[in-house]
A and B are shown apart, each in its own frame.
Chain A
Amino acid sequence: MNPAIAIRMVGADFLKLRKKRGTLIWAFVLVLAPVLIFFIVKAVQHSSSPAEHSPAGGISGYTDAMRVLAVFFGPLAAIMIGTDGGAGDLAAGVFRDLVVTGRSRVALFGSRVPAALGLCWLVVLAGYALTLVGTYALASGTPTPGGALVINGLLFTLFSTGIVCVVAVGFSSLVGSRPAALTVLIGWQLIASRILENIESLGSSRKLILSQAVAHFSPISLNDGGHGPRGGATVTMSTGTAVIVALGWIVVFLALGAWRTRTMDA
């Protein structure tokens, strides 16, 4: 396909998402509000009892805020945007109007992915910017993250949210219903994968859980009081395994979404 057409198609999909005020507001609320609340609470605690509570910012504050953004709430915002990107045309009933243009259905599916990713990352960047503001403004003289950690942290945040967003686009295109996809993916992200991580009898098969593979690339320790990401158990794996698992999730869900888009009655 002509690159100019591809760019226009992605732009059109971005427009659909960007103008969906409800989704956009909730996505911003999900990435900004928890980080903001985290820093406010920590700052109040520190100011009321500096000996007992460390400053809200600094490396410690950055690490905790990153857990909030990159591991908990960023992926939820990614799910919101991704599911809208994947099933938005079907929900509005315009998918068939796009099909009757003669454009390949796979191309129609393909343009959803970068559009959703673009908006997802725009929202997440705002959350990351707030994290940095809190980290430096509320450091109170404690050490702050260096440039390398800031960049690595940014890349990790984009990676952890981007991969979930892509999976959400594929899954919602497969299911064809945004509410259903939203429910399943949030349920998986918040509940099911956490339960599976803690079932030790599953052994190394727990490496297949996406959040475990993603956590492998974190520049900060996601362990919290002896627990792994999001309070679950830590499953150690090699970088190669983590890459294969992450790629596997992307490939499988993109393939399923493209297949369903190509074969469904419009």
Chain B
Amino acid sequence: MDPSSSQPAIETAGLTKRFGERTALDGIDLQVPRGCAFGFLGPNGAGKTTIIRTLLGLTHASAGTMHLLGHPVPAERAQALQRVGAIVEEPRFHMHLTGRENLRIVSAVRGPETWDRIDPALARVGLSERAGDKVKSYSMGMRQRLGVARCLLADPLLLILDEPTNGLDPAGIQEFREMIRAMVEQEGRTVFISSHLLDEVEKTCDAAAIVDRGKIVTQGAIADLAAGGGARHELIVGVDDQDRALGLLNASELVAEARPDDEGIRVVLSGEPQTAAQINAALVGAGVGVTRLEPVRHSLEQRFLQVTSRLDADLVPEAVKA
């Protein structure tokens, strides 16, 4: 067994990339575990594509270390990339060639182990019937799928996809999402998706990192990220006697915190979400009428806006000073 197979799919430490005076990546420490779909979230210009280009050796890092599938990069770049498939920015092809011919070109470069994978890869992405057509006649969605087929030639342990749903219609996005999930769940591949589409990452990925201005702001499982670090469970409780309910809730050991807000009482549970039923019973038992009991669904979007706006706020004093 390959000793590197237990190591993270992607691991960087202090990864820095400067373009002259501008720092595009500022000491990135990233760990992408194997066998998951990992989102790399950030606003436009945050450094998402730069980290992908640096990982793949399309541009040189200014400082820091990188490992792909356990192999140090760039020292063992060729070995590392043997089992990596990547689409950087939009997938590009020789437009005057057919889909199959484009794959033949990449297969020739990759080596003999890939020469028999062209037709299975085309079939996997549903392009067998159009494989003999010139790529210039393909829709954007078909080009994205052909890009994935090109990645599959490597039988990749790690797929790196840069903004993969750009230009796709809703049906195409759904189809693409299902394909990614199948690759992770059925084929055991790791998929690293860079995107500025929060909803996309939330629906497709198991874990994510949020990057802004070349720095990782936070990373972890999607649910943890959305909850703001630890996995907090919250309820909105509507009652007929708010003061009394607040007293009861704050006295309960099932509740970490209870405070009034616009929608009723916001309750942070100290345990698992199932304790909501016990809280309901306690309130009703104490004679408080419960009109609403609704779990709060944290969205990644809220968290994203929170952490990126925090960065904006952090910058304000410096701007004022300047």
Interface residues, chain A, CB within 8 Å of chain B? Answer: 2, 4-5, 8-9, 11-12, 15-16, 19-21, 88, 92-94, 96-104, 108, 265-266
Contacts and interface: CB of A to CB of B under 8 A. Distances in A.
Given A97-B88, A103-B78, 6 more contacts: A15-B101, A96-B92, A97-B86, A97-B91, A101-B106, A102-B84
Interface in B82-135: 82, 84, 86, 88, 91-97, 101-102, 104-112, 115
B96 A15 contact: no
Contact of A103 (B92, B94, B109): B109
Interface stretch (B2-10, B53-61, B258-266, B302-310): B53-61
Interface residues of B, number: 35
B81 interface: yes
B150 A97 contact: yes
Contacts of B213: none
Contacts of A2: 111-112
Nearest to B91: A97
A15 B77 contact: no
Given A5-B111, A5-B112, A15-B104, A100 B88 contact: yes
27 contacts: A2-B112, A5-B109, A5-B111, A8-B107, A15-B104, A19-B96, A93-B92, A94-B93, A94-B102, A96-B88, A97-B91, A97-B92, A97-B150, A98-B105, A99-B56, A99-B57, A100-B56, A100-B58, A100-B84, A100-B86, A102-B79, A102-B81, A103-B78, A103-B109, A108-B109, A265-B59, A266-B58
Contacts, number: 89
B97 A8 contact: no
Contacts of A88: 94
B97 A102 contact: no
A99 B106 contact: no
Contacts of B115: 8
A99 B58 contact: yes
A15 B105 contact: yes
B154 A101 contact: yes
Given A20-B96, A21-B96, A8 B58 contact: no
Contacts of A93: 92
Contacts of A21: 96
A16 B97 contact: yes
B110 A103 contact: yes
A97 B57 CA distance: 11
Nearest to B154: A101
